[in-house]
Amino acid sequence: MSVDRPSVPNQLQEQLGRLQQLQQTLQAVVTQRRQLELELNEGENTLVELDKMTKDALIYKSIGSLLVKVEKNKIVEELKENKELLNARISVLGRQQKRAEERIKELQSNIQSSLGTISK
Protein backbone atom coordinates (compact mmCIF):
# COMPACT_ATOMS: atom_id res chain seq x y z
CA MET A 1 0.00 0.00 0.00
CA SER A 2 1.62 3.23 -1.10
CA VAL A 3 0.80 6.71 0.07
CA ASP A 4 0.59 9.35 -2.62
CA ARG A 5 2.83 12.29 -1.79
CA PRO A 6 2.42 15.55 -3.57
CA SER A 7 5.25 16.06 -6.01
CA VAL A 8 7.65 18.92 -5.39
CA PRO A 9 7.16 21.59 -8.05
CA ASN A 10 10.13 22.48 -10.24
CA GLN A 11 10.17 26.04 -8.92
CA LEU A 12 10.52 24.75 -5.35
CA GLN A 13 13.27 22.35 -6.39
CA GLU A 14 15.13 25.27 -8.00
CA GLN A 15 14.72 27.33 -4.84
CA LEU A 16 16.07 24.47 -2.74
CA GLY A 17 19.06 24.18 -5.08
CA ARG A 18 19.72 27.92 -4.85
CA LEU A 19 19.43 27.74 -1.07
CA GLN A 20 22.01 25.00 -0.93
CA GLN A 21 24.35 26.98 -3.21
CA LEU A 22 23.93 30.11 -1.10
CA GLN A 23 24.67 28.17 2.08
CA GLN A 24 27.86 26.80 0.52
CA THR A 25 28.84 30.28 -0.67
CA LEU A 26 28.19 31.69 2.80
CA GLN A 27 30.35 29.01 4.38
CA ALA A 28 33.18 29.78 1.95
CA VAL A 29 32.93 33.51 2.65
CA VAL A 30 32.93 32.93 6.42
CA THR A 31 35.98 30.66 6.13
CA GLN A 32 37.86 33.20 3.98
CA ARG A 33 36.99 36.00 6.38
CA ARG A 34 38.22 34.02 9.39
CA GLN A 35 41.50 33.25 7.61
CA LEU A 36 42.03 36.90 6.77
CA GLU A 37 41.20 37.95 10.32
CA LEU A 38 43.81 35.50 11.62
CA GLU A 39 46.36 36.89 9.16
CA LEU A 40 45.47 40.44 10.20
CA ASN A 41 45.85 39.56 13.88
CA GLU A 42 49.25 38.00 13.18
CA GLY A 43 50.37 41.13 11.33
CA GLU A 44 49.17 43.39 14.15
CA ASN A 45 51.06 41.28 16.69
CA THR A 46 54.18 41.51 14.52
CA LEU A 47 53.86 45.31 14.39
CA VAL A 48 53.59 45.43 18.19
CA GLU A 49 56.75 43.37 18.53
CA LEU A 50 58.59 45.46 15.95
CA ASP A 51 57.62 48.60 17.84
CA LYS A 52 59.44 47.21 20.89
CA MET A 53 62.68 46.80 18.90
CA THR A 54 65.34 49.42 18.43
CA LYS A 55 65.72 51.15 15.07
CA ASP A 56 68.95 49.29 14.32
CA ALA A 57 67.72 45.83 15.36
CA LEU A 58 68.47 43.02 12.92
CA ILE A 59 65.27 41.86 11.26
CA TYR A 60 64.92 39.04 8.80
CA LYS A 61 62.02 38.28 6.51
CA SER A 62 61.17 34.84 5.23
CA ILE A 63 60.97 34.65 1.45
CA GLY A 64 60.32 31.08 0.42
CA SER A 65 63.06 29.01 2.00
CA LEU A 66 65.34 32.03 2.52
CA LEU A 67 65.69 34.54 5.33
CA VAL A 68 66.53 37.99 4.00
CA LYS A 69 67.73 40.90 6.12
CA VAL A 70 65.36 43.89 5.93
CA GLU A 71 65.33 47.36 7.40
CA LYS A 72 62.86 47.88 10.22
CA ASN A 73 61.13 50.86 8.59
CA LYS A 74 60.66 48.94 5.31
CA ILE A 75 59.06 45.92 6.99
CA VAL A 76 56.87 48.14 9.18
CA GLU A 77 55.63 49.99 6.09
CA GLU A 78 54.99 46.69 4.30
CA LEU A 79 53.05 45.31 7.28
CA LYS A 80 50.94 48.47 7.54
CA GLU A 81 50.08 48.30 3.83
CA ASN A 82 49.18 44.64 4.19
CA LYS A 83 47.03 45.50 7.22
CA GLU A 84 45.10 48.08 5.17
CA LEU A 85 44.61 45.58 2.35
CA LEU A 86 43.43 42.88 4.76
CA ASN A 87 40.99 45.28 6.44
CA ALA A 88 39.53 46.18 3.04
CA ARG A 89 39.18 42.54 2.03
CA ILE A 90 37.62 41.64 5.39
CA SER A 91 35.15 44.49 4.96
CA VAL A 92 34.17 43.27 1.47
CA LEU A 93 33.74 39.72 2.76
CA GLY A 94 31.64 41.04 5.65
CA ARG A 95 29.28 42.72 3.19
CA GLN A 96 29.14 39.55 1.08
CA GLN A 97 28.38 37.53 4.21
CA LYS A 98 25.58 39.90 5.21
CA ARG A 99 24.02 39.80 1.71
CA ALA A 100 24.23 36.01 1.57
CA GLU A 101 22.62 35.70 5.01
CA GLU A 102 19.80 38.03 3.96
CA ARG A 103 19.23 36.12 0.72
CA ILE A 104 19.21 32.82 2.61
CA LYS A 105 16.59 34.09 5.06
CA GLU A 106 14.46 35.38 2.19
CA LEU A 107 14.77 32.12 0.26
CA GLN A 108 14.00 30.05 3.36
CA SER A 109 10.88 32.12 3.91
CA ASN A 110 9.79 31.62 0.29
CA ILE A 111 10.42 27.87 0.54
CA GLN A 112 8.46 27.57 3.78
CA SER A 113 5.61 29.51 2.22
CA SER A 114 5.67 27.22 -0.82
CA LEU A 115 5.76 24.12 1.37
CA GLY A 116 2.77 25.40 3.30
CA THR A 117 0.86 25.81 0.04
CA ILE A 118 1.77 22.29 -1.12
CA SER A 119 0.74 20.60 2.12
CA LYS A 120 -2.73 22.15 2.03
Integer Cα distance of 14 and 12 in angstroms: 5
Strand partners, 68: 61
Domains and CATH numbers, the chain: 10-119 (1.10.287.370)
Q: Read off the pTM.
A: 0.81
User: How many residues does this entry show for the chain?
Assistant: 120
Residue-wise pLDDT tens digits, 20-60:
999 999 999 999 999 999 999 999 999 999 999 998 899 99
What would the pLDDT profile of 56-99 be if each residue is shown by its tens digit? 899 999 999 999 999 999 999 999 999 999 999 999 999 999 99
